[in-house]
Structure 1
């Protein structure tokens, strides 16, 4: 078995872990708000025939500097799933497809282009990736996984937050979790080629740093950064903010914290939520509502919360997608053109299922439609 395949089998086990416990906590018929609309990636779709994006995950949507939407994908292959066959299978990450189609259109999301490609052709990865080897900074790197993207029309620049993955199967007191080595930022001034900066938010040796998986949302002069631990572990969710033109200056990040009597900015971060979080996704909707989505790894469900502002009280969880609808689900990224009206929440949901002997049976991303 190749090193790459061993690493991905570890990731498969983690991906299926949340769904595995769900049958004991939820029963068929549990109410949910979102419904499946369409599958967006796969060997049988034009994502493969046009750009060789077949087996892939995530699909994190964010607004590009020209107003259309970029979708960031993680580990991507020209085969249905990571382990092939055949091998090698053109492993890339991250990859971006783009669309200017509103997700609420009758046909749902339709991709029209890929980053770094003129028309049709193989979509390459956006930035350097160590691929089970020595990364750009001389450190061992299994892969690079995108967390979120953000753009700045003032400058035409785009930023991607990402994790440099140290391993997919790090032992711990609550079982195996993937371990990031650090979180980082990459930028592009042409919308195609991203450069990894030297900035690193280092993980701890015990994999408990709460600033590894980021989601970012700009409002006015500020970018609000919500973050959790890597590996879908139990732990806190933290909130920071930074002026949009100071994202490359770590000393400019302000924490949102509790001092014993009140909350305020410019303090050490205090958890705004605690739980077993998957990748978080936060977007400010057109009516000013802030919406949050993530995989609740204790129940195996994609859930949402809302708030009047990033530093306001968040509602309780609302179940959007259950593992009874989509086995092996994760992600749950909010499309920025979602609204608070009925059936106007658009979620990008990944599915990764496998047999008991670790052979994948599905690895793709779909669009779900629900209500906040």
Structure 2
């Protein structure tokens, strides 16, 4: 069975709030850099016919150990949207599809396989999920949502950072926003089965911990981790780094912090940015440009920033996609094969639109093309 109606309506409120706010703040004709290229998922597409991936979101792209691209999807169903009909509708998360096609090709992203599937067939979730029940660690878990993925050719291992969701509609000092219980790491040595480790970056009771939604990018021996609070709420963005072979050792993570006179590594984290952040996505492009994308939940826009390095100054926001282009939008995950050239930026953008009574009218992922 999919999410129950109470949980569904809570998530609708949490996910939809940014889109509603954005519609009020962004005027038609607002300049944007990215344009729609194609819809990637849906009940009418091969994602459903081949792997029963119909209604889904996120589609976080990362480089696999074999050089192709894995796409991490969140709550996934064999119906067009989470509430069906019919029910049950085969709720799964996370699910991974794969592609070796460059997103800049004329036909855009084309998926060729699914994790844990030989050829065609139902794509299962790639790690344990409590599904509105007791999770693998004995705690209540609504669902598991991927944050980002990273792979290491030296070992053939892949890692996925994720959130264990406590509820979709946390009320209180920080609500209403969704609340993660903790951020965690899962690993796979075969590219299919991911094992959730006992590493947990616990959220605070007031839902203000800034290390819940991660994005990861390797540069040489270091993996740089950018993170924000869960729930698309106001707060800081933090930056840490850890050697690639020490990701399982929390004491090895170094913070990027300000000591009152200068910035440096090995300090308590200081905010590198402040805002109302959706899920962040950071990638280092082939020419060395660092690009950051996220939903600005205060304006409803998918925006990007650039920098010459992870610990350098980030440019002001550049609007890529507005809620007028894609109502109910969120995500904005950067394809790692993007470039700094004109129309070289490829974004995976989610859409979830509903009627006033909460019934969904769209729940899918599209590819957008823009310029950093």
Please confirm whether the aligned pair reaches a TM-score higher than 0.5, indicating the same fold: yes
Give the Cα–Cα distance (whole angstroms) in 1 for the partners of residues 202 and 94 of structure 2. 20
Give the Cα–Cα distance (whole angstroms) in 2 for the partners of residues 131 and 2 of structure 1. 8
1:14 CA displacement: 1.3
SS state at 1:116 partner: coil
Instruction: Write the mapping of 1:222-261 to structure 2, written as runs, cut at 5 A.
Output: 222-261=222-261
Give the Cα–Cα distance (whole angstroms) in 2 for the partners of residues 180 and 289 of structure 1. 31
Aligned to 2:262: 262
- The answer to whether the 8 A contact 1:286-1:339 is kept is yes
SS state at 1:47 partner: helix
SS state at 1:199 partner: strand
Give the Cα–Cα distance (whole angstroms) in 1 for the partners of residues 2 and 114 of structure 2. 30
Aligned to 1:293: 293
1:24 CA displacement: 2.6
Give the Cα–Cα distance (whole angstroms) in 1 for the partners of residues 95 and 134 of structure 2. 20
1:323 has 2:323 as partner: yes
Of 238-247 and 15-24, more deviation after overlay is shown by 15-24
Instruction: Write the mapping of 1:271-310 to structure 2, written as runs, cut at 5 A.
Output: 271-310=271-310
- The answer to whether the 8 A contact 2:145-2:162 is kept is yes
1:243 CA displacement: 0.2
1:132 has 2:136 as partner: no
RMSD over aligned CA atoms reads 1.0
- TM-score, normalised by the number of residues in structure 1: 0.99
Tell me the alpha carbon deviations over residues 33-61 of structure 1, each in whole angstroms, 9 at most, x when there is no partner.
00000000000000000000000000000
Instruction: Write the mapping of 1:15-164 to structure 2, written as runs, cut at 5 A.
Output: 15-164=15-164
Aligned to 1:351: 351
SS state at 2:86 partner: coil
1:309 CA displacement: 0.2
Give the Cα–Cα distance (whole angstroms) in 1 for the partners of residues 280 and 26 of structure 2. 22
SS state at 2:38 partner: strand
Give the Cα–Cα distance (whole angstroms) in 2 for the partners of residues 215 and 8 of structure 1. 26
Q: Show structure 2 runs of 5+ residues with no match.
A: none
1:175 CA displacement: 4.1
Tell me the alpha carbon deviations over residues 44-87 of structure 1, each in whole angstroms, 9 at most, x when there is no partner.
00000000000000000000000000000000000000001111
1:326 CA displacement: 0.1
- The answer to whether the 8 A contact 1:5-1:82 is kept is no
- TM-score, normalised by the number of residues in structure 2: 0.99
Of 19-28 and 189-198, more deviation after overlay is shown by 19-28
Give the Cα–Cα distance (whole angstroms) in 2 for the partners of residues 190 and 22 of structure 1. 41
1:15 CA displacement: 1.2
SS state at 2:22 partner: helix
Aligned to 1:189: 189
Aligned to 1:336: 336
1:260 CA displacement: 0.3
Give the Cα–Cα distance (whole angstroms) in 1 for the partners of residues 24 and 175 of structure 2. 18
CA distance change for structure 1 residues 53 and 3 in 2, over 3 Å: closer, same or farther? closer
Give the Cα–Cα distance (whole angstroms) in 2 for the partners of residues 2 and 370 of structure 1. 35
SS state at 1:16 partner: helix
Give the Cα–Cα distance (whole angstroms) in 1 for the partners of residues 322 and 229 of structure 2. 23
Give the Cα–Cα distance (whole angstroms) in 1 for the partners of residues 87 and 320 of structure 2. 36
SS state at 1:269 partner: coil
Q: Show structure 1 runs of 5+ residues with no match.
A: none
1:184 CA displacement: 0.1
